[in-house]
């Protein structure tokens, strides 16, 4: 394993461990806040000279503060409470408060609905952690589970664990909610951005996610300076968080459905995008559910989301996944059949024409016909080169890097063109990836020598878990990409695309008046 691959693997494992640890700490923090929350609603009442109960103090961020209670309001109805000085209302107390100047009325008892959600939300977070941990280990070898399990768990348990902070509100818990909730979605947003198929899509998706998260964090100070209840600040924060998660999905989807500059409706990217949309929406749905005015609505909202997930999985994702699996099996079968046919042709060439040419060269030498004997040996050399290209022994034995150098030398010698190669392969990817890289380079060089102009440059970078190939030339041979669908270029482009699909790579073909480029990146997420 190369240093780069080792660093990447360690980084991914460190990210997962950090997300799981953060999720556990967030849930434990919720229980801690619940234990320290006490029973105060965050409002103090004192008796004025006329014997009325007047609000003299409201704790910033408390349930009373969020409900719109402000100093100076008069308690017009306090069930079961006698006027007293310095009284702190308990959570759940039914109180009607009136602002005599503006006429604003607040029914304080309705502000304590979240109090009933505290323990169900906390234990729901614990259950979610346990289920996610079991699912993660059950599907440990699946790419989606490995990449998204930890970030989704962290983003999903955070809204549940923050319910005590909202129910037992204070200035501290208000700041905690404003900072922890946006920060908890950062790993999930990063994982979604990593699904983009092109560097341009990665940049755009990353900018949207970063801008939305930074803006959501920047709204936190407004909760303390704007007139409360600052409901619009909270709503704006939730909208920004939704943009940070769903915006990258919207930008990743078109990039996944565009291949070689053309739109394609393939089952595989559709299944992946449906999964991404569900993953991004799950923490948003949980956040919306715990913000409901009653526990019943919360349970119904979560149940509806689960039913939608089951329905979509059963009647959309599973059929599409089956279609993808059948298509992949058929594609692999075609590729394997093609390789077997190439080996058969190579063996026939070796056992037939090459043996006959060898005998012919010996006979010509025996009769002194040196000129025709040299010509026969030249034909033998070309046939051996063709046989090597069909069998790819150099790729199997030495790897794609040395094979590309050999290919560059052969094509340059036969075409007489200036062809150069740059290598940065510190390790060998899987053999099927090396075969696909070599075949794509072979077809790209053929196009460059027939329709391009020198200089022709090849750039190959590889490690045990990554590979990229770029073939550039100075000709306008690939200027009109729409023309590649038909005519002499069509089969070559189709072959390159099939090779890229067979290994899960991204193939980009671009042409301009300044030159043409063929680019292959494996895996697709590495782009």
pLDDT per position as a tens digit, 92-139: 667 778 887 877 887 776 556 666 677 888 888 888 888 888 877 776
Q: Report yes or no: 195 and 143 within 8 Å, Cβ to Cβ.
A: no
Residue-wise pLDDT for 433-489, tens only, equals 888 888 888 888 888 887 777 888 899 998 888 889 999 888 765 544 444 444 444
Q: What is the mean pLDDT of residues 202-231?
A: 80
Residue-wise pLDDT for 476-525, tens only, equals 655 444 444 444 445 567 778 877 877 878 888 877 666 788 888 887 65
* Residue 211 pLDDT level (bands cut at 50, 70, 90): very high
Containing 512, the helix (H) or strand (E) segment is strand 506-512
Q: Output the average pLDDT for the chain.
A: 75
**Is the predicted pLDDT of residue 320 greater than 70, yes or no?**
no
Q: Which CATH class is domain 413-527?
A: alpha beta
Domains in the chain: boundaries: 3-35+115-322, 413-527
Mark 511-527 as b/e (b = at least 16 C-beta within 10 Å). beeebbbbbbbbbbbeb
∠ CA 131-136-142, rounded to 5°: 145
Q: What is the per-residue pLDDT for 517?
A: 85
Residue-wise pLDDT for 322-371, tens only, equals 666 666 566 556 655 666 666 677 666 666 777 777 777 777 877 788 78
**Residue 14 burial by Cβ neighbours in a 10 Å radius (0-12, 13-18, 19+):** exposed
- Whole-prediction pTM value? 0.56
**Is the predicted pLDDT of residue 387 greater than 80, yes or no?**
no
* Residue 24 pLDDT level (bands cut at 50, 70, 90): very high
Check residues 11 and 240 and name the one with the higher pLDDT: 240
* Residue 213 pLDDT level (bands cut at 50, 70, 90): very high
Q: What is the per-residue pLDDT for 215?
A: 92
Residue-wise pLDDT for 50-87, tens only, equals 778 888 888 776 667 767 788 888 887 665 555 555 67
Rounded to 10 deg, the angle between the 186-193 and 143-161 helix axes is 150
∠ CA 400-523-7, rounded to 5°: 90
Residue-wise pLDDT for 392-441, tens only, equals 667 777 888 888 888 888 788 777 788 888 888 888 888 888 888 888 88
Check residues 204 and 307 and name the one with the higher pLDDT: 204
Q: Report yes or no: 489 and 406 within 8 Å, Cβ to Cβ.
A: no
Q: What is the per-residue pLDDT for 11?
A: 64
* Residue 207 pLDDT level (bands cut at 50, 70, 90): very high
Q: Report yes or no: 277 and 323 within 8 Å, Cβ to Cβ.
A: no
């Amino acid at each position: 394993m190369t240093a780069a691959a080792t660093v990447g693997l360690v980084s991914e494992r460190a990210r997962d461990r950090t997300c799981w640890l953060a999720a556990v700490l967030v849930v434990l923090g919720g229980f801690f806040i619940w234990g320290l929350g006490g029973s105060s609603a965050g409002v103090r009442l004192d008796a004025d000279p006329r014997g009325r109960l007047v609000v003299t103090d409201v704790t910033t961020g408390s349930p009373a503060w969020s409900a719109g209670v402000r100093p100076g309001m008069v308690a017009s109805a306090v069930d079961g409470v006698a006027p007293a000085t310095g009284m702190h209302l308990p959570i759940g107390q039914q109180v009607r408060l009136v602002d005599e100047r503006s006429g604003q009325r607040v029914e304080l008892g309705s502000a304590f609905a979240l109090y009933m959600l505290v323990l169900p939300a906390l234990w729901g977070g614990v259950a979610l952690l346990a289920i996610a941990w079991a699912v993660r280990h059950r599907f440990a070898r699946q790419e989606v589970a490995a990449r998204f399990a930890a970030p989704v768990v962290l983003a999903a348990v955070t809204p549940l664990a923050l319910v005590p902070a909202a129910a037992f509100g204070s200035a501290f818990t208000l700041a905690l909610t404003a900072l922890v909730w946006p920060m908890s979605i950062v790993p999930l947003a990063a994982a979604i951005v990593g699904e983009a198929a092109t560097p341009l899509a990665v940049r755009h998706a990353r900018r949207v996610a970063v801008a939305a998260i930074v803006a959501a964090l920047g709204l936190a100070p407004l909760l303390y300076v704007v007139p409360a209840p600052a409901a619009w600040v909270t709503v704006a924060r939730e909208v920004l968080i939704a943009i940070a998660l769903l915006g990258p999905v919207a930008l990743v989807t078109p990039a996944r459905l565009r291949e070689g500059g053309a739109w394609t409706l393939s089952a595989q990217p559709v299944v992946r995008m449906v999964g991404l949309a569900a993953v991004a929406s799950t923490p948003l749905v949980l956040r919306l559910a715990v913000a409901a005015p009653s526990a019943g609505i919360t349970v119904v909202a979560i149940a509806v989301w689960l039913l939608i997930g089951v329905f979509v999985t059963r009647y959309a994702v599973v059929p599409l996944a089956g279609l993808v699996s059948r298509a992949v099996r058929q594609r692999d079968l075609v590729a394997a059949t093609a390789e077997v046919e190439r080996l058969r042709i190579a063996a026939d060439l070796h056992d037939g024409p090459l043996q006959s040419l060898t005998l012919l060269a010996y006979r010509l030498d025996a009769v002194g016909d040196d000129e025709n004997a040299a010509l026969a040996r030249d034909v033998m050399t070309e046939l051996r080169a063709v046989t090597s290209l069909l069998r790819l022994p150099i790729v199997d034995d030495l790897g794609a890097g040395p094979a590309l150098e050999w290919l560059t030398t052969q094509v340059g010698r036969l075409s007489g063109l200036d062809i150069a190669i740059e290598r940065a392969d510190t390790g060998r990817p899987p053999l099927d990836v090396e075969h696909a890289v070599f075949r794509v380079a072979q077809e790209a060089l053929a196009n460059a020598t027939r329709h391009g102009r020198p200089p022709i440059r090849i750039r190959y970078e590889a490690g045990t878990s990554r590979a990229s190939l770029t073939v550039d030339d100075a000709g306008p041979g690939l200027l009109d990409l729409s023309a590649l669908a038909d005519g002499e270029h069509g089969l070559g482009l189709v072959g390159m695309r099939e090779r890229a699909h067979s290994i899960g790579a991204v193939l980009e073909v671009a042409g301009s008046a300044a030159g043409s480029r063929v680019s292959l990146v494996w895996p697709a997420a590495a782009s």
